[in-house]
Amino acid sequence: MTKKAIVWIREDIRIENNAALSYATQNHEHVTALYIYNKKYFDKKREAQKWWLSKSLEVFSNDLKKFNILLEIVADDEIEIFSKIRKADNVKIYWSKVYEPDIITKGKKIRDILINNEIDYKYFKGNILIEFQDVTKDDGTPFKVFTPFWKNAEQKYLEKVPSKISGIKKLDKEFSFFKKTILPEKILPKKNWFKKFEKYWSPSEKEAQKNLQKLIKDKITDYGETRDFPHIDGTSKLSPYLKHGQIHVETIWNKCQGIKNKGKGYRKYINELGWREFSHSLINYFPEMLKGNLRKDFDNFPWVKNEKNLKKWKQGMTGYPIVDAGMRELYETGWMHNRVRMVVGSFLVKHLRIHWMEGEKHFRNCLMDFNEANNVAQWQWVAGCGADAAPYFRIFNPILQGIKFDQKGAYTKKWVPELKNMPNEFLHKPWELDKEQQEHIKIIIGKDYPYPLVIHEEARAAALEAFQSLKKN
């Protein structure tokens, strides 16, 4: 057996529960870790994640050094890099799978290259509970509805013999393979707007574990209730760590199984993991949904092109405080509360009738936790054109959503500070406050804060009319 190994790191930036890294160190004397930074996946597409990736790789590099393993970051195309490895290099390649159709297609090309060059390789299950192809209906067709999918998937996962992954073995000395490498800082976005992220996040495996402990100890019991209120720290905040593989979903699952008194909160949270599995299944069985509507009848939907309104939505200047709070939270922190994601998504596709793909693109660029499967599935769910989607006529009322989930305005006033003096009874409909009172509290609607881009009742009626037009075609 060859003494040298390369572990190709992608969405598995961690030491614990890393099958590829563990296997390589247990079976080889010299191991290097490779991260390929392909600019075309990030530039003007996933700018926020550049920051997370840069910081994560910096920490990971230091963690690996404790095991005498280098992290070599190479800026190039994956095909180019693997094409240059030869049999004479006497090296074996390991990696963990990533469940995105384009990446899977590229992975097959890389395997063909390695086979042609007589390079030995081995890959492992990625950051998922169960392989999507293992969860199908009795007739072998994929599920399009969440509940039966998750019932089937969860049962199959529970029946599996848990995989035992050894820890990473410390090696005698470091080994380098690649000549041209870059430092993690080279990945950072060119604009300094990302500096503010440092106030909110610490991208590391250690922090992921801390968040998991906090979830189990303080949050999961009441998760079913508290997760809907954006001013409460009631969500796990694990999604960016899951995306980058700083924690494995199996680690989260196993920790949750150890809870003695499993209540509604536990079930609600476990179902969130289920939706993640479901989304990965959908995009692999129906890859067309990455480029358009899963429900083809929506191909004729009369979307509205309005760059001005789209820009106002992105800026958090729609005139609806709960929507604007969410969009500003996104830009400031690279994250948005899940309840608010549904509200701002519904507002874009139903109040403004702007195509959901515009929202999907903006979220992709701004979210730390952007995950291709989750993002596109959630946007199509909100738009009503996806699998197991919300009925189109379910149009979130941004006024009522604000009143119900942020009645006292702790969340809204944090992100829309110009409304800090607005009486709570008018906070989510500030335009109803009379002019004299506006002057008294020094908030003039139309000057200090915008009038609504659209009137809710009118926008709702127009959206339903647009939906009805599909039935006539």
User: Does 35 have pLDDT greater than 80?
Assistant: yes
User: Does 103 have pLDDT greater than 80?
Assistant: yes
Q: Average pLDDT over the chain, rounded to whole? A: 94
Residue with tokens 């095991």: 67
Confidence of residue 188 (pLDDT cuts 50, 70, 90): very high
Percentage, residues of the chain above pLDDT 70: 99
User: Does 121 have pLDDT greater than 80?
Assistant: yes
What distances in angstroms separate CA 41 from CA 82, 320, 361, one per listed residue? 18, 33, 13
- This prediction's pTM: 0.95
Confidence of residue 1 (pLDDT cuts 50, 70, 90): low
What mean pLDDT comes out for the span 311-338? 97
Confidence of residue 469 (pLDDT cuts 50, 70, 90): confident
Q: How many CA atoms lie within 13 A of 54 on its CB side?
A: 21
Between CA 214 and CA 463 the distance in angstroms is 41
Between CA 135 and CA 145 the distance in angstroms is 12
pLDDT given at position 184: 97
10 Å CB burial of residue 141 (0-12, 13-18, 19+) is exposed
pLDDT given at position 146: 94
Phi, psi of 202 (to 5 degrees): -130, 95
Among the listed residues 385, 360, 354, 356, the one whose alpha carbon sits nearest the alpha carbon of residue 374: 360
pLDDT given at position 23: 96
User: Does 24 have pLDDT greater than 70?
Assistant: yes
Which residues partner with 121 through β-bridges?
93
The tokens describing 298, both together, are: 């929506």
Question: The dihedral of CA 296, 299, 304, 307: what is its sign?
Answer: positive
pLDDT given at position 162: 66
pLDDT given at position 397: 97
pLDDT given at position 161: 63
User: Does 442 have pLDDT greater than 90?
Assistant: yes
pLDDT given at position 432: 96
3-state SS, the chain, equals: CCCEEEEEECCCCCCCCCHHHHHHHHHCCEEEEEEEECHHHCCCCCHHHHHHHHHHHHHHHHHHHCCCCEEEEEECCHHHHHHCCCHHHCEEEEEECCCCHHHHHHHHHHHHHHHHCCCCEEEECCCCCCCHHHCCCCCCCCCCCHHHHHHHHHHHHHHCCCCCCCCCCCCCCCCCCCCCCECHHHHCCCCHHHHHHHHCCCCCHHHHHHHHHHHHHHHHHHHHHHCCCCCCCCCCCCHHHHHCCCCCHHHHHHHHHCCCCCCHHHHHHHHHHHHHHHHHHHHHHCHHHHCCCCCHHHHHCCCCCCHHHHHHHHHCCCCCHHHHHHHHHHHHHCCCCHHHHHHHHHHHHHHCCCCHHHHHHHHHHHCCCCCHHHHHHHHHHHHCCCCCCCCCCCCCCHHHHHHHHCCCCHHHHHHCHHHCCCCHHHHCCHHHCCHHHHHHHCCCECCCECCCCCCHHHHHHHHHHHHHHHHHC
What is the set of domains in the chain, with CATH numbers? 4-126 (3.40.50.620), 127-161+205-285 (1.25.40.80), 296-472 (1.10.579.10)
Burial 24-38 (b: 16+ CB within 10 A, else e): bbebbebbbbbbbbb
What mean pLDDT comes out for the span 420-448? 96
Between CA 380 and CA 254 the distance in angstroms is 30
Between CA 279 and CA 99 the distance in angstroms is 10
Q: Give the chain's largest Cα–Cα span.
A: 83
pLDDT given at position 194: 82
pLDDT given at position 473: 58
pLDDT given at position 243: 97
Span of 172-181, 381-390, 412-421 with lowest mean pLDDT = 381-390
Confidence of residue 308 (pLDDT cuts 50, 70, 90): very high
Span of 120-129, 193-202, 275-284 with lowest mean pLDDT = 193-202
